[in-house]
Amino acid sequence: MSGSLGEKILDHYETFLGAYIGAEKYSDESRSLQILGFDKVFENSLTFATFGLSNYADDINALCETVMNVDGDYDNCAELLANAVFYIIRQKMDFGAGMYISGLDNVVEGFSKAHNKSALYFTQPYAFPNEFSRTGECKIFDAFFITEREAEFIKQNGADAFEDVLEERGADVIMLDRPSVI
């Protein structure tokens, strides 16, 4: 496949997610990226996808992008995804599956109370075909919101144990207001 990495990522998204319906640019100091929105991926939800996170691979030790599926509060969810990604870049965190970023109310006041979610969790894509998880050398991660109890469980027991519980309970992580599995 020829073309730039950005073209490859966009082609990859459009192959698996369809045409995007909107793109919002987010900036943080000297960095910027876009959050693309897709409406035909899962019923009654939007899928957000970062476009430009891969430009900061050296800062986060990963050549990657991330997607997030949610069923409501779309503007705030996109804002929280962008903010979490910028936080990871600023802190030069090693980006990967099993990490979470808390402090959502510092960005969108009252979000945790409204949805009982206090952190954004990153993992391998779960609701997509295996081929979706990588476009050439760029890896694609999935993100979803978790409760404070779930974040504490991850801290104590690890991400694999948490994901086992999610699977055992059949949790629909697209549901923003889903109950805690812990």
Neighbours of 4 (CB within 10 A): 8
83-94: average pLDDT: 96
104-128: average pLDDT: 95
- What is the band of 41 on the pLDDT scale with cuts at 50, 70, 90? very high
pLDDT digits (tens, 9 = 90+) for 136-154: 899 999 999 999 999 999 9
- What is the SS3 assignment for 74? helix
The pLDDT score that the predictor gives to residue 3 is: 63
Q: Which of 14, 60, 69, 15 is nearest to 33 (CA)?
A: 60
Which amino acid would we find at residue 113? K
The pLDDT score that the predictor gives to residue 1 is: 37
Phi and psi at 141, nearest 5°, equal -110, 165
154-166: average pLDDT: 97
The first and second tokens of residue 90, run together, are 């600023």
The first and second tokens of residue 59, run together, are 């800062």
1-30: average pLDDT: 90
Does the structure show a pLDDT above 90 at 78?
yes
